[in-house]
Amino acid sequence: MAFLLGFVVLVSGNILDSAMALSNGAGLIPPMGWSSWCTVGKCGADFCDENEVLQAADALNTSGMLSLGYNYIVLDDCWAAGTRDAVTGALLADRNRFPRGMAPLADDLHRRGIKFGLYTSAGNQTCSSGGRSFPIPGSEGHYQQDANTFAAWGIDYVKLDWCGDVKHLPIDGVAKGRKYYVSFSHAINATTPLRSMFFSGVAAYIFLLSDAPIYTNAWRSFSDHHDTWTGMSGTATAITAQQDLGTAGRPGAWPDMDVLTTGGQACATNSTAHCPGQTDVEYMTEFSLWVMNQSPLMIATDIRNMTSIMKKVLLNAELTAIHQDTRTPPAKHVGIWPCSGDPLACQMWARPMADGSIVVALLNTDSKAHKITLEYARIGVSGWGTTTNATVYDLYVVQLCISSLHTPSTSHDPPWGARTGGLTPRSGTRWARLKQTSSHTVRPCYV
């Protein structure tokens, strides 16, 4: 698991170059919000209805999530009817679940300051039926029509999956996949009525590679993320995929590490109880590395019934502010600390911030605990002298300590864990702010 350490240095930061991002005005900051995917029933059961959406909107507001920037509600594969309009061929909402349709619901959410997103597929069918016994039509052959429908309904976010007949394309599937995602990108940015909508292309990176930021506002750098640390769909694999294969984000174009599973999926249909698949430390790590990479933060578990770890993680104002700050690039993997037994298990990620801080994640991917020593020279930021006094603070517990730069800080990282914190010169702005607002005792760093 990873622990984030924040380090503050007085360096300058500039707005990122967005020339190679989709120029539709959407996604200038990475989106945050709630997804229906794992809320009612296990992930993939994906039941949703109007009542659930309005309750989720209330929860975003009353929990404090909305004020932190969680201002999207995105329905996954659960909202559409099993057939299109017999006359026009337009997509329809499932009237058993959404009796008023989507436009009035979008209006309700907009009045609350919440943006609304919907899911569809590039093929003739979607991936899941949302707990129903019949298939759901995809957008194949209707790209412009469906984009126009979404715009007319007031939709703000469209997620395009890769399911249905397109999953069985022949050997030229990569070329066709590129054509399909480019075609939908053109459609969503030429709607009648014209509307700026965030475009999330689930499989776009497979087909577009480095061109994904030109045609989408977000692309998956990994397969579906499940509520587990290990395995091909686990959190550790998602982090590794972003490290090795992911394209760095920028305003208007963000790598998507998939939904957050903080607190655990629902135990059963119509149950508000959570059944966690990861430990609290693993959920902290999941959130930390999503923040470091500025992946969209879409929480897919039930925010109407927030557990203690959900509150601790999702309501962390320091980390959400770091995530939403686009004045400097996302974090980079900056090195490995030689842990005993597994030379690749202990990793370091760093992101310089515009206010002079440096946020650092010390990540332990091993199944046993390790000590990771952060040698400040590895961060690669000029201006740090061997006699500089710095403040280190943990971004999850907001405790302060004093450290000298010539004395490395050591983090005691549990299995599959990450430490989050901060460093600043004693005269830095972050130290002054924390000194004024923190009631915690200044202590030695990780000793």
Are 158 and 198 in contact by the 8 Å Cβ rule? The answer is yes
Round to whole Å and give the CA distance between 185 and 200: 10
Round to whole Å and give the CA distance between 306 and 312: 10
Q: Which two tokens stand for residue 161?
A: 């999956």
Round to whole Å and give the CA distance between 103 and 117: 12
Amino acid at site 229: W
Are 410 and 372 in contact by the 8 Å Cβ rule? The answer is yes
Bridge pairing between strands 254-256 and 265-266: unpaired
Amino acid at site 342: D
Catalytic-role residue among 161, 355, 366, 394: 161
246 secondary structure, DSSP code: P
Amino acid at site 398: V
Count the alpha carbons within 13 Å of 88 in the hemisphere toward its beta carbon: 8
Backbone angles phi, psi at 220, to 5 degrees: -75, 130
Percent composition of the chain: helix, strand, coil (DSSP 3-state, to 5): 30, 25, 50
Catalytic-role residue among 58, 108, 211, 224: 224
- For the question of residue 107 being annotated catalytic, the response is no
Round to whole Å and give the CA distance between 142 and 416: 45
Q: 144: exposed, middle or buried (C-beta count within 10 Å: 0-12, 13-18, 19+)?
A: middle
Q: Which two tokens stand for residue 364?
A: 């332990």
Q: Per-residue DSSP letters for 91-139?
A: --B-TTT-TT-HHHHHHHHHHTT-EEEEEEESSSB-S--TT-SS--B--
Packing angle, helices 143-153 and 102-111, rounded to 10: 50
Are 372 and 343 in contact by the 8 Å Cβ rule? The answer is no
- For the question of residue 224 being annotated catalytic, the response is yes
Q: Give the residue numbers annotated as catalytic, written as ranges.
A: 161, 224
